[in-house]
Amino acid sequence: MPPSDPPPAESDGNHAAAIPMDEDGPAVATSSSPADEDTVMVEASEAQGAVGAASPSAKPPSPKTAEEDDIGVEIKQESKGDVKLEELFDDMDSDDDEFITSNNPANGQEPAAEGPNKDAAFELLRIYYQSFFPWRYMFQWLNHSPVPTNDFKHREFSLWLHNDAVMRYQSYKTSDLFRRDVLRLMPRRIEIGPVYTADPRDRKTFRNSTAFQPLAKELCFDIDLTEYDDVRTCCSGTKICHKCWKFTTMAIKVLDAALREDFGFHHILWVFSGRRGIHAWVCDKKARSLSDNQRKAITSYFDIMSGGKQGGKRVNLRRPLHPHLARSIDILKSHFQHDVLETQDPWQAPDKAEVLLQQIPDTELREALRKKWDASPGRSSAAKWADIDTLAQTQASSSLDPRDLRDAKQDVLLELTYPRLDAAVSQKLNHLLKSPFVVHPGTGQVCVPIDHRDLEAFDPFAVPTLQGLIAEMDAWAEKHGSEAAGSQDVKHLQDWEKTSLKPYIEYFRSFVTTLMKDERDVGIKREREEDGEVPIKVESLDF
């Protein structure tokens, strides 16, 4: 089903109605409408005024409330001073299409939020934020220390409300204030921005813009399967399946190896983006303080497509390959054979096979292959790939340099399997990215971390959903109910520990613990260095 088909869920007036944002399809095409006209920006204080001292269980503000109370809302278009329009667009380029699609073939679960009405959906979300969202570890993750520091206090959060309002430049003095605000406003999405030089809420008090500048943010990457539509034969658009999920596995392996071995980073958090992609958060202190220029350098280091657009080849690399690319090929080789050639069969159709032929660097060989493939329609991609070497050997062409052929084949392999990044997410220090552990309103799935050490074990369709978690908790209570009531062990269990969310939060906890430990050690080391440092001699100029 093409992704543009209207999801039937919408007509039922169920959860889809509660999430009117339609971010489907090419982001550019649709984002202009919400950003230009519909989306409103509510300042923190104004939103507080609107909602007042609402209890956590109260319904989140609806667009109607906002209008009736006549609170000041800013149309985004008019608030360019705060938010650059193109940055908003960038943001929507990512996988975060928060809408309901009716079918997700391999996914047996109904989208979690398809409750009988939207009140129920909000109630589920409230339970989630109250009982499942790992507040403590989220705080530690961003704060890098047990006591609140500016790393947390000056960090921008942006809350996407159900009425399409986006509250940018939110910040919190403590983890608890953050939690209370989220429970009060019940955002359907939380994004994380940079740490600023000052409290983001005070940004307007600074006369000159240099006093309010982004200081630090994790180095982020975004990979979205829609970028792979020309290689995927199983799905397209927003849909995914186990077969094409392999492309994200390949991407993580290549990037993770390079970020660790080449760039020397240690704290890399991979996160399922809730539907059809993944995010990476590189959290090392050094990564967080990279300038835009340095971020751009990394992004280009990972870009093999640009500069090679000649003769139908998108990838055209110099030989011998840079060590990073040679290693990437080693990682990708077996995936290419199994997950691409055998599983996706990308050159089954004659027109696709022609694309492959165009990349063969020798006319004679190309003609021989074309003849052979024309004679056996339906020949598999794996067989075609093998034909290239076989024919090159048996019908040796005088003009063909075997190394040119090998290089061309490597370029094909890389074009099909090398990570395809959304560069905008990585290049800017002040780019916002959806927080881990947010619930994707479209799928109801939790944006859980992925353990890079066991990527094959990650199943995007087994990721806990909001509705599933509640059911698990009920089941747990039923099973352990009376007998457990008196037991000390059970009493102290957190709700998430009773569900399938447990391994993900535990993984996150250990990630955060290691990060905090390193941060502390680095801090001590730096202090020592500073103490012993020889001051740089300032040039004397008195000539």
Partner 1 sequence: MNRIDAKRRNVVDHRKKQFADPVFKETQYPHRLNFYSEPPTADITLEQFEQWAIDRLRVLAELEACSFRNKTPAETATHMKPLLDKYLPLDSTSSHSSQLHAQRQKDHYSHFILRLAFASTEDLRRRFTRVETMLFRLRFQADDSRERAAFVRTLNLDWEPVSEEEKRELAQQLGATLAAGFGGKRGGPGVMDEDWCKVDWTRVPDLVESRKVYLRGGMAYVPGREQQSMVLNAFTKRLEEALELTSRALPNLDEDDRLTPILNHLSKNFIAPDSGYTSAGSSAIEGAEISARNIDNLSQHFPLCMSNVHRTLRRDGKLKHFGRLQYTLFLKGIGLSLEEALIFWRTGFRAVSDDTFNKEYRYNVRHCYGDVGGDSNRRSGGSSPFGCQKILTEHAPGPGEAHGCPYRHFTIDNLTTLLRATGVTDPAVLKGVKEDTEAQRYHIACNRVFEHLHKTELKRAKDEGIMTAAQLETIVHPNEYFKRSYLLKHLDAAPKRERDVKMEAVVSFAGS
403 binds, among partner 1, Zn ion, none (CB under 5 to 8 A by kind): partner 1
Instruction: Using alpha carbons, list the distances in angstroms from residue 228 to 314, 421, 525.
Output: 14, 10, 44
Can you say whether residue 208 is alpha, beta or left, with left for phi > 0 and alpha for psi between -120 and 50 degrees? beta
Of 24, 199, 224, 422, the catalytic one is 224
488 binds, among partner 1, Zn ion, none (CB under 5 to 8 A by kind): none
Footprint on this chain of partner 1 (rule: CB under 8 A)? 261-265, 286, 290, 293-294, 296-298, 300-301, 317-326, 403, 538-543
Does the annotation mark 156 as catalytic? Answer: yes
CB-based contacts of 533, cutoff 8 Å, min separation 6: none
243 binds, among Zn ion, partner 1, none (CB under 5 to 8 A by kind): Zn ion
Q: Which is nearer to partner 1, 231 or 321 (CB)?
A: 321
Return the number of other C-beta atoms located less than 10 Å from residue 537's C-beta. Answer: 6
Concatenate the DSSP letters of all residues of 275-343 into one string.
SSEEEEEE--HHHHT--HHHHHHHHHHT--STT--BTTBS----SSPPHHHHHHHHHHHHHIIIIIIIT
State the residue for tokens 């000056």. Answer: 154
Least distance from partner 1 to the Cβ atom of residue 540, Å: 5
Rg value, the chain, Cα: 26
Footprint on this chain of Zn ion (rule: CB under 5 A)? 234-235, 241, 243-244
244 binds, among partner 1, Zn ion, none (CB under 5 to 8 A by kind): Zn ion
Q: Which is nearer to Zn ion, 198 or 241 (CB)?
A: 241
Q: Which is nearer to partner 1, 37 or 261 (CB)?
A: 261
Least distance from partner 1 to the Cβ atom of residue 292, Å: 10
Least distance from partner 1 to the Cβ atom of residue 308, Å: 13
Does the annotation mark 224 as catalytic? Answer: yes
Does the annotation mark 5 as catalytic? Answer: no
Q: Which is nearer to Zn ion, 44 or 234 (CB)?
A: 234
313 strand-pairing partners:
310
Least distance from partner 1 to the Cβ atom of residue 407, Å: 10
Least distance from partner 1 to the Cβ atom of residue 124, Å: 44
Of 93, 222, 256, 415, the catalytic one is 222
* SS3 call for 137: helix
* Alpha carbon distance 98, 234 (integer Å): 22
300 binds, among partner 1, Zn ion, none (CB under 5 to 8 A by kind): partner 1
542 binds, among Zn ion, partner 1, none (CB under 5 to 8 A by kind): partner 1
Task: For helices 363-375 and 350-357, give the axis angle rounded to 10 degrees.
Answer: 160
**Closest to 165 (Cα-Cα) out of 19, 50, 39, 49:** 39
State the residue for tokens 């955060």. Answer: 512
Q: Which is nearer to Zn ion, 140 or 343 (CB)?
A: 343
Least distance from partner 1 to the Cβ atom of residue 263, Å: 6
* SS3 call for 123: helix
* Alpha carbon distance 325, 317 (integer Å): 9
Q: Which is nearer to partner 1, 147 or 538 (CB)?
A: 538
Any idea which residues carry the catalytic annotation?
156, 222, 224
